[in-house]
Amino acid sequence: MDRDSNRAAVTRAGRSKGRHRAASEADRPSSQAFMASGPDGHPPANTGESAMNANKLSPSAQSATSMTRIIAMVGIAIFFFLAISTYQLVKSIESRESLKNVEKLYFPVLIKADSSVAIMDKVSDEYVKAVMTAAGEKGVAAHALGVEAVHNLEEMAKLFPGNSKDLDQIRAQFQSYNDEAAKLDDDYLNHRTVLRDWLPRIQELNANLAKTRDALKSFRARCYEEFSRTLDKTRSAMQSNLYLSLALGMMNLCFMGVLVYFIRNNLRMMALVADQNMNLEKRVAERTEQLAQKTNDIQTMLQNMPQGVLTIVAGSHIHPEYSAYLETIFETTSIAERGLMDLVFSNTNLGADTLSTVEVSVASVLGEDEMNYEFNSHLLVTEFNIRMEDGRTKSLELSWSPIVNEAGVVEKLMVCVRDVTELKRLASEASTQKRELEMIGEILSVSQEKFQDFMQTSMAFVDENRTLTEAASGPTAELITQLFRNMHTVKGNARTYGLGNLTNTVHEAEQTYDDLRKGQATEWEPKMLLEQLDQVRGLLDEYAKINDTKLGRKGPGRRGNVEKFLMVDKSQVAQTLQAMQGVDMDNVDAMRAALVETQKLLRRIGTERLQDVLAGVTESLPSLARELGKEPPVVAIHDNGVLVRTQISGLLKNLFTHLLRNAVDHGIEAPAARAAAGKPGVGRIELDVEIAGDDLRFVLRDDGQGMALDRIRQIAADRGLVEASTILSDEETAQLVFLPGFSTAEVVTEVSGRGVGMDAVKGFLEREGGRIDVRFLGASTGSGHRLFEFVIALPATFAVSN
Amino acid sequence: MAQILVVDDSSTVRDEVAGFLKRNGLDVATAVDGKDGLSKLRMDPKVKLVVSDVNMPNMDGLTMAEKIRGELGNKTVNIVMLTTENNPNMKERGKAAGIKGWIVKPFKGDAVLATFKKLVEA
């Protein structure tokens, strides 16, 4: 601003300078004519000068103090200027006066003095001449001349009142001379006197006249001196005035120079400013374009992002700048300026109170200090379901962010809306699967047998509770206690086995009974209790299903993990230990008996019952039978107390998988055929085990139709295993089934994994020192079938008898 | 010498709020309505924070706040309102009475504890 005002000052000064300069140029005399008049008026150069001087400083001095400094300097300059001008003026007036004096006073005086002197001289001569020439008229003329001189002197006195005394004296003297001289002359000429008298008188008079003339001359000299002194003074005053004017003129020129400099600067600055202005405009245009670009980019983002973003402004309505996806979510284009509650929170599954809380919270946060957001943000709903016009529901998630300005006030609330319907569905599916996986994990951590036990007992308890509840007419202490105890047991077991997905439900049911027991719940609501039991039962069923079908662990399973550890019946060990402990150490027989018992026990280590080994197979037979449209057969295993070593359990499993399934597949007939043959609908498979000498012998037979020898022959011929022409005995035919390539069907079970072909099984058997034979029972029937049994032998070392 | 004064006509709310704050080491006094609040504040001017309900018998929260600033001449104590509704008039009155904040019920301790502690230290 200072610069502006100074620029204005410069321009003002410039303008004023121009005006005044014009005036002073006109007025200013040339150096020669300085006598006529002096520099007149106020050369405003000083004002301009001081202003410009001030301008030299002001760009750097930018405060009010510099302003006063400038004003002070200007003031001082003006003062000096006025002083000088006044001095000049005074001086020039003085000079004029002096010169006037010269003109009006000295000149006339001097002239008169000179003329008087001249007259005096002439007069004295004339008087003498008059006498000499006896020309009375000369005397008269001389007297008249004298009178003229007297007049002169009179006038001089008048003009010179200061010296009038001298002049009067001179005049008086001269007048007296004049008169006397005239008289003398007259007297002489009129013969009143003689020359002898006239001469000395006239000489005396002339002597006096000489004195008078001297006085006058000295007066004249004095006057002349003053005159020339005055002239000198005037001249010197004029000279000094001239110099001053010259100096002022020089200063003027300098200031003009400075002014030109400043004007040039100004012009340059203006050019610079104009240049910068243009630059600025260019930059503004650039920035505007950048801004437009940015706005465009942001708009593009808003239009394309797959998230609904909106901002809520004061008044709880929605700002017109929102992301386009919002329209997709809410299936409407009417969003801008709508109220938040109207657009987002109508047709939701939120309760009226929740909605009201949200509304109040939003109102409490907008336009308030951000601490209010901290206070209330937890009340801003983050997920809910919304129903569309056509009845579909969507699940929406909201993220809230406060937009805070520098004063710490929440100006707007930004809300990000996500459609999570699909996500939720997937999550729910995943969670279902997760639950199932959890349950599988839980089940697997329990041994098959124990799990089976648990299932059976728990289901039994639940069923019992159901029965009791249904039958009861009212709550009795006994009933409630029983119900509680059952459930408590189930819970305890479930907990022990870590079946987490079960325990909670069971616990709730147990608590219900507990509340009834403690008298806290007084209502006997059989319906509710039964529902609860159904829930528990449902869960148990779920577990069972997973266990049986998904995991294929149906049945009690094999006892113990065979890889590393051997499991022995705990009770047996306990018994034996007890027996050993109680042995009378002094009694040899008792000790022997104890020893035998221990041996027995030890021998039983690493052995299993055949039933357990084959459990998986036998349990899978019913479903196989059903698949084949046959009645599940009865499998009777007579093990005669033989326990087989775990080492061969795999082999036995493989073997009997084939044999038993074949029995069901090929041996046991369909119910119709059986009925026709007069057999009971349910087939029977029998497996005998015994230790005979060095052999561990298995005999497997079924009451089906026997071996289809014809068919076997056919298949073998088809497969190219025998020549079609070759005749084979029944025994030879029977052996064909053990040929590799006879049956390419692999037996796959969920439990035993992939089976191997019969030939492989025979190979395993023989490798272990065993053998398998087919023993026909009875004669060949002629229908191509012949009843038979398999006889398998293994070294007896693979078994122990109990 | 209490740091915080809790004013609410519901004893449940008073207990809940005061209890929570006390458990977190703050010194809390209570009042049952605006009049009571005023008099308690008059007696104990060292209170740094007043937490008050809006709707109370005898004298409501906003009036009490106005009187705290006016009659009592206490311009320094921080006042925060507990509310279930919020309309522009209330906000205006609140601003005029120098109310620092609005807490919407239900009150959640964790959301306010840090700020309350700051207001009490200040």
Reduced 3-state DSSP string for A117-180: HHHHHHHHHHHHHHHHHCCHHHHHHHHHHHHHHHHHHHHHHHHCHHHHHHHHHHHHHHHHHHHH
Provide DSSP, A643-694. EEEGGGHHHHHHHHHHHHHHIIIIISPPHHHHHHTT--SS-EEEEEEEEETT
Contact B104 A371 (CB under 8 A): no
Asked if the C-beta of B86 comes within 8 angstroms of chain A's C-beta atoms, the answer is yes
**What's the CA angle centered on A521, arms A515 and A525, to 5 degrees?**
105
Specify whether A650 is located in the same domain as A764: yes
Predicted pLDDT at A522: 67
**Number of CB pairs, chain A paired with chain B, less than 8 A apart:** 55
Asked if the C-beta of B112 comes within 8 angstroms of chain A's C-beta atoms, the answer is yes
Specify whether A511 is located in the same domain as A643: no
Specify whether A410 is located in the same domain as A456: no
Q: What is the pLDDT of residues B48-82, one digit of tens each?
A: 999 999 989 999 899 999 999 988 888 889 999 99
A589 in a structural domain: no
Specify whether A394 is located in the same domain as A518: no
Specify whether A413 is located in the same domain as A491: no
**What's the CA angle centered on A686, arms A680 and A692, to 5 degrees?**
155
**Partners of residue B103 in chain A, C-beta under 8 Å:** 364, 372, 375-376
A82 in a structural domain: yes
Amino acid at A682: V
C-alpha atoms less than 13 angstroms from C-alpha of A279 in its C-beta half-sphere: 6
Q: How far B63 CA lies from chain A's nearest CA (Å)?
A: 19
Predicted pLDDT at A5: 47
Specify whether A258 is located in the same domain as A359: no
Predicted pLDDT at A493: 85
Last residue of a domain, one of A419, A447, A466: A419
A32 in a structural domain: no
Specify whether A414 is located in the same domain as A473: no
A318 within 8 A of A366, measured Cβ to Cβ: no
Last residue of a domain, one of A384, A419, A454: A419
Which residues constitute the domain of residue A82? 63-273
Report CA-CA distances (Å) from A472 to A459, A464, A521, A532, A537.
20, 12, 17, 16, 20
Tokens encoding A290: 């950048």
Reduced 3-state DSSP string for A571-625: HHHHHHHHHHHCCCCCCHHHHHHHHHHHHHHHHHCCEEEHHHHCHHHHHHHHHHH
**Partners of residue A369 in chain B, C-beta under 8 Å:** 100-101
Could you give the dihedral angle defined by the CA atoms of residues A528, A534, A537 and A538, in that order, rounded to the nearest 10 degrees?
A: -130
Residue A200: asked if its preceding bond is cis (omega within 30°), the reply is no
Compare CB distances from A360 to B104, B110, B115 and report the shortest one's residue: B104
Least Cα distance to A102 among A238, A233, A230 occurs for: A230
**Partners of residue B104 in chain A, C-beta under 8 Å:** 357, 360-361, 364, 375-376, 379
CA gap A793, A770 in Å, rounded: 5
CA gap A787, A535 in Å, rounded: 52
Q: Which parts of chain A have pLDDT scores under 50?
A: 1-2, 4-54, 559-564, 744-755
According to DSSP, residue A1 is labeled: -
Asked if the C-beta of B103 comes within 8 angstroms of chain A's C-beta atoms, the answer is yes
Task: Render the burial of A713-738: b for 16+ CB within 10 Å, e for the rest.
Answer: bebbbeeeebeeeeebebeebbbbbb
Nearest CA in chain B to A315: B88
At residue A753, the 3 state secondary structure works out as strand
According to DSSP, residue A745 is labeled: P
Predicted pLDDT at A523: 73
Asked if the C-beta of B85 comes within 8 angstroms of chain A's C-beta atoms, the answer is yes
Give burial (CB, 10 Å; 0-12/13-18/19+) of A656: buried
Token pair 């000083």 is at which residue?
A46
Interface test with A, best of B54, B90, B100, B104 (most A CBs within 10 A): B104
A110 in a structural domain: yes
Asked if the C-beta of B106 comes within 8 angstroms of chain A's C-beta atoms, the answer is yes
What is the distance of C-alpha A218 from the center of its chain?
A: 114
According to DSSP, residue A639 is labeled: -
Contact B103 A376 (CB under 8 A): yes
Provide DSSP, A184-242. HHHHHHTTSS-HHHHHHHHHHHHHHHHHHHHHHHHHHHHHHHHHHHHHHHHHHHHHHHH
Specify whether A436 is located in the same domain as A415: no
Q: Which residues share a beta bridge with A698? A: A689, A792
A51 in a structural domain: no
Predicted pLDDT at A284: 92
Contact B100 A363 (CB under 8 A): no
Asked if the C-beta of B115 comes within 8 angstroms of chain A's C-beta atoms, the answer is yes
Predicted pLDDT at A403: 94
Specify whether A191 is located in the same domain as A311: no
Going by their DSSP bridges, the two strands A684-692 and A634-638 should be labelled as parallel
Residues 6 or more apart from A511 whose CB is under 8 A from it?
none
A480 in a structural domain: yes
Predicted pLDDT at A42: 42
Residue A18: CB atoms within 10 A of its CB come to 13
Taking the alpha carbons at both ends of chain B, their separation in whole angstroms is 16
Predicted pLDDT at A764: 77
Q: Which stretches within A309-420 are classed as H helix?
A: 325-330, 340-343, 352-365, 371-376
Last residue of a domain, one of A387, A419, A451: A419
At residue B72, the 3 state secondary structure works out as coil
**Partners of residue B100 in chain A, C-beta under 8 Å:** 369, 371
A706 within 8 A of A781, measured Cβ to Cβ: yes
ipTM computed for the complex: 0.85
Report CA-CA distances (Å) from A224 to A162, A231, A309, B85.
15, 10, 114, 117
Query: How many domains is chain A partitioned into structurally?
Result: 4
Predicted pLDDT at A629: 85
Asked if the C-beta of A360 comes within 8 angstroms of chain B's C-beta atoms, the answer is yes
Q: What is the pLDDT of residues B95-104, one digit of tens each?
A: 888 898 899 9
**Partners of residue A313 in chain B, C-beta under 8 Å:** none
Instruction: Give me the phi and psi of A175, to 5 degrees please.
Output: -60, -45
A159 in a structural domain: yes
The alpha carbons of chain B give a radius of gyration, in whole angstroms, of 13
A329 within 8 A of A372, measured Cβ to Cβ: no
A755 in a structural domain: yes
CATH number of the domain that residue A329 is part of: 3.30.450.20
CA gap A735, A713 in Å, rounded: 10
Specify whether A411 is located in the same domain as A502: no
CATH number of the domain that residue A497 is part of: 1.20.120.160
Query: What is the model's pTM?
Result: 0.42
A382 within 8 A of A418, measured Cβ to Cβ: no
Phi-psi region of A311 (alpha: psi -120 to 50; beta: other; left: phi over 0): beta
CA gap A672, A591 in Å, rounded: 62
Report CA-CA distances (Å) from A678 to A363, A634, A683, A703, A783.
89, 17, 12, 12, 17
Specify whether A401 is located in the same domain as A458: no
CATH number of the domain that residue A697 is part of: 3.30.565.10
Q: What is the pLDDT of residues A555-612, one digit of tens each?
A: 555 544 444 455 556 666 677 677 677 777 777 777 777 777 777 777 777 778 888 8
Specify whether A630 is located in the same domain as A720: yes
